[in-house]
Every structure is written in C-alpha cells, then in structure tokens.
Amino acid sequence: MDIGTFSALAEPNRLRIVELLAHGPLTVGEIAERLNLRQPQASKHLRVLLEARLVSVHADANRRNYALQMEPLQEMDAWLNNYRRIWNERFDNLDHYLQELQSKPEQ
C-alpha cells in the first residue's frame, strides 16, 4: 500500500477535492469556488494530489482540467481485501453463534 495516498487524503480540503471530482473533471477555478478556497491553495492541493497520482491534468488553453484517477483508490481497495477476510471471519463466528442459539432455543 502506498502511503502517499493516505497522506494526500489526510487533508480535509484534498479529500473534499477528491469527492468533488468524483462527479466529473473540473477546472482549478471551479474547484476553488465550490470549496471556498483561494486559487493558490487549490493549485497547491491539486499539485499534491497529482504527485499522489490521485488526479490527472489535461491542459485546455488557459484552463486546466483535473480529473480523478482511480488507480490509488483501487490499490486501497486491494489492500483492504486482507482485512475484509478478517471481519468476515468475525461475522461468520457471530453467525455460527447465532445459529447455535437457534438450534438450542430454550436453554
């Protein structure tokens, strides 16, 4: 698991940017406006997200369109797989326990 992903998402404004870009690519100005950020800060946060490969840029003349990149999130997803096993096991144990209760209803 690449820690850069966690670091990038550990900042409130950057997390909001990611969630905003989930609905489609946006320009720096649009992001700054919707999140009530000053333009330089928006740029800086986007730079960090870019280095974490969480977004990509596509220059369109004066403007720059930032789009969400799924790879780091997919990596997170894959990383979580190890833990899903664990919490499923625990759930299974609970399940077995409940079935035990069912099979001996009045004890």
> Which residues are at the interface with a copy of itself (CB under 8 A)?
1, 3, 6-7, 9-12, 15, 19, 22, 68, 70, 73-74, 76-77, 80, 82-84, 86-87, 90
- The stretch near DNA (CB under 7 A) out of 32-40, 68-76, 79-87, 97-105 is 32-40
Choose from DNA, a copy of itself, none: what does 84 bind? Cβ within 5-8 Å by kind. Answer: a copy of itself
Kindly state the smallest distance separating residue 50's Cβ from a copy of itself, in Å: 17
Place of tokens 């596509």: 58
Long-range Cβ pairs for the range 10-19 (8 Å, 24+): 11/45, 11/48, 13/37, 13/41, 13/45, 14/45, 14/48, 14/49, 17/42, 17/45, 17/46, 17/49, 17/55, 18/49, 18/54, 18/55, 18/68
- Write each residue from 48 to 87 as x if it is in contact with DNA (CB under 7 A), else as -, in one continuous string: x--------x-x-xxxx-----------------------
- Smaller CB separation from a copy of itself, 29 or 79: 79
Place of tokens 């986007």: 46
